[in-house]
Amino acid sequence: MQDVTIHITDRDGEKHTVLAPTDMAMNLMEIIRSYELAPEGTIGICGGMAMCASCQCYVTSKHRINTMEDEEEAMLSEAFNVKNNSRLSCQIPISDILNELEIELAPEC
Amino acid sequence: MIKTDILIIGAGPTGLFTVFEAGLLKLKCHLIDALPQPGGQCSELYPKKPIYDIPGFPEILAGDLTSNLLEQGKQFQPGFTLGERAETIEKLEDGSFIVTTNKGTQHHAPIIAIAGGLGSFEPRKPQLENIDMYEDNGLAYFIKDPEVYRDKKVVISGGGDSALDWSIYLADVASEVTLIHRRNEFRGALDSVERVQELKLINKINIITPAEITALHGETKIEGVSVTKDGETKTIEADAFIPLFGLSPKLGPIGDWGLEIEKNAIKVDTVDYQTNIPGIYAIGDVNTYEGKLKLILCGFHEATLMCQSAYKRLNPGKKYVLKYTTVSGINGFDGSRKESPKAVVKAIV
Ligand SMILES: Cc1cc2nc3c(=O)[nH]c(=O)nc-3n(C[C@H](O)[C@H](O)[C@H](O)COP(=O)(O)OP(=O)(O)OC[C@H]3O[C@@H](n4cnc5c(N)ncnc54)[C@H](O)[C@@H]3O)c2cc1C
Ligand code: FES
């Protein structure tokens, strides 16, 4: 599969359905940035290194995605507005298993 | 009042390289940065990570790049105002500017180069009721003078290096140190984690995990904090509360300077990276134009073109001919002179 469909609710509550390529080593944060679903400077501040939590999102569909590494878990333990379904979108690589994934961006912090 | 030719706001890689390029044109620079150390994102976010796309360096640590840039600029004797945020700008009748920081330090220059990157790094504040009221009244996001905490009851929250390091340091200064973190695990240098563990065992640090600060108490200053652990809340006495949750960049006051802003960045003319206000330039990550890339090498390029334009602005009658440093060498403001060695020319008979 070349592209997967992802449903993203932005910080204003607006829903967007976007196509994400699976063959460009992108992560979910980069997809959100490339579709400009959050203003510049409010997402991806650490460049995707699990060091800022600006890319936090809530996974609202029942997909079984990659499990969290220690770094992601540690960052989320320091972040604000964290829920049980919180993930750092920069730590979610785009792959076939994400097709029809639904996420919501966490508030800006 | 600090006077200079080019006042640079932001001491990230772009600002630091501007010192060198301006120096070649005999222009003196002064830099302001909200952070206590130069280097911008490189030193604040990823000093120990390697960068692979600096031309000529197959690999260089971000911290080493900062040190090299400082070394390269040193001969042009830049001035620094560190730990202060550029807050206001005033244009004088002669076209020059006065920039004042949040601490009231004034700087006067005919040219302003905004190299503010993503913005000034501000502490991430936990969402607690009335938190603003307690700021500087027992609540601090940075520790400037640890002596302030001598014999006080201090509560620190956070789970990273700063929270660990300051808990260790204050264990010998404060009468009581309580470290509160949402997880049982801390992420920091292994020796700091171990040291905190040792201090806990000898009752020099109290650790409450997994727990969260949920309220602040005190009429006019911090007198206590509420800590919630396993659904139960208790209040502990405290003279000081230090939340250490890292920093987040914000464009901040520069956004109100009358500059044209687009997508959280300053619009510039790509001829020389000047903004809509003549004499104010914006270079590096802080600017935007068609095709903009937020990369260190792009900031270096923009700084170079900007300095040429600033020179022309300051010396309207003079013509400047671009010189290669290999040919012309470098005359530092400190009297130093660097020149490539000349080959001995032998007469051919
Ligand atoms: C994790 C990560 C990895 C990266 N990797 C690379 C890479 O491999 N290659 C690459 O080319 N780029 C990389 N980048 C991007 C690179 O770091 C930036 O392009 C670069 O730092 C921009 O430099 P700058 O000097 O323009 O701004 P910054 O480095 O952001 O510095 C701006 C400075 O201005 C200060 N400032 C802002 N406003 C004010 C104010 N009002 N008053 C006082 N001070 C102020 C800030 O405190 C800051 O110190 C990476 C970025 C990150 C986060
Ligand atoms: S971009 Fe910083 S944690 Fe994801």
The complex's ipTM? 0.80
Residue with token string 């509550």 = A13
Closest approach atom of ligand 2 to CA A75:
3
Q: Are B106 and B88 in contact (CB under 8 A)?
A: no
Report whether pLDDT(B73) > 70: yes
Report whether pLDDT(A1) > 70: no
pLDDT tens, residue by residue, B183-225? 888 888 888 999 999 999 999 999 999 999 999 999 999 999 9
Ligand 2 pocket mutation pick from A45, A71, A81, A108 by most atoms within 8 angstroms of CB: A45
Q: How far is CA B151 from the centre of its chain?
A: 31
pLDDT tens, residue by residue, B221-260? 999 999 999 999 999 999 999 999 887 888 889 999 999 9
Q: Residue B234's beta-bridge partner residues?
A: B227
Share above pLDDT 90 across residues of chain B, in percent, rounded to a whole number: 77
pLDDT tens, residue by residue, A59-86? 999 999 999 998 899 889 888 899 999 9
pLDDT tier, B44 (very low <50, low <70, confident <90, very high otherwise): confident
Chain A CB contacts of B264 under 8 Å are 39-42
CA-based torsion, B208, B123, B293, B309: positive or negative: negative
Q: Is A8 within 8 Å of chain B by CB?
A: no
What is the token pair recorded at A73? 């878990």
**Minimum mean pLDDT among B3-7, B160-164, B219-223, B341-345: which range?**
B341-345
SS3 B24: helix
What is the token pair recorded at B176? 């009581």
Chain B CB contacts of A73 under 8 Å are 183
Q: Which 16-55 residues of chain A touch chain B by CB within 8 A? A: 39-42, 45-47, 49, 51-52, 54
Q: How far is the CA of B74 from the centre of ligand 1 (A)?
A: 20
Chain A CB contacts of B127 under 8 Å are 80-81
Tell if the CB–CB gap between B248 and A46 is shorter than 8 Å: no
